[in-house]
Amino acid sequence: MIERVQFFDDIVLSWMGKMHTPRRNKIMTFFSKIGEKGIVWFTMCIPLLIYAPWRFFGANIIVGLAIAHLAGEIIIKHIVRRVRPCHKLEDDQLVVKRPKYYSFPSGHTTSSFAVFAVTLFRCWPLSFLVFFIAAMIAISRLYLRVHYLTDVVVGMLLGFVCGSISVIIFNTMTLPF
């Protein structure tokens, strides 16, 4: 079973390499960069945390990001220890520098979909924009060949679960916001 998944992942990786153009490289690098360390999501939270009526929503996103980071980056990546696909490629095949850490699950995708889940439950009209950005970040990780398809799919699911857990936690407590 694992061999079949890896075979499919390798096919997607090869297909992504054939899609590269200078313009797409710039677009995908942009989306990947804004997803680094949750920059786009923390930036989005600044006005939410400052404006009192939205503070609960902003705090809910921050907790969702923290849960996602703990689950994906701290626990799962260090258990699975999957080597990134970019380590199979030659330097001239890469668009970005090789990340240092493990591949599974995609941290960019996990954090993005945690924010999407919180936004879907707390402010669904905004969730369309958040989903677009989250999806582009996830696709960029495949396009740049720093993650396998399964890394990204599991990151989407894990992120959505972590964001949902954050919403459940916030629904059960009364906060002084």
List the chain pLDDT tens, one digit each, 177 residues: 778 878 888 888 878 878 878 899 899 999 999 998 889 999 999 999 999 889 999 999 999 999 999 999 999 999 998 877 775 666 555 655 666 788 789 999 999 999 999 999 999 899 999 999 999 999 999 999 889 999 999 999 999 999 999 999 998 886 555
Angular region, 145: left φ>0, alpha ψ -120 to 50, beta rest: left
pLDDT value of position 41: 94
| 66 close to 118: Cβ distance less than 8 angstroms | no
The burial class, CB within 10 Å (0-12 / 13-18 / 19+), for 138 is: buried
The burial class, CB within 10 Å (0-12 / 13-18 / 19+), for 33 is: middle
| 29 close to 140: Cβ distance less than 8 angstroms | yes
| 106 close to 138: Cβ distance less than 8 angstroms | yes
Angular region, 37: left φ>0, alpha ψ -120 to 50, beta rest: left
DSSP state of 1: -
pLDDT value of position 138: 96
110 alpha-carbon distance from chain centroid: 4
Q: Which helix (H) or strand (E) holds 46?
A: helix 39-50
Structural tokens at position 132 = 């677009």
Is pTM beyond 0.85 here? yes
DSSP state of 144: T
pLDDT value of position 5: 79
Structural tokens at position 72 = 């994906």
Q: Which helix (H) or strand (E) holds 108?
A: helix 107-122
pLDDT value of position 11: 83
pLDDT value of position 174: 63
pLDDT value of position 175: 58
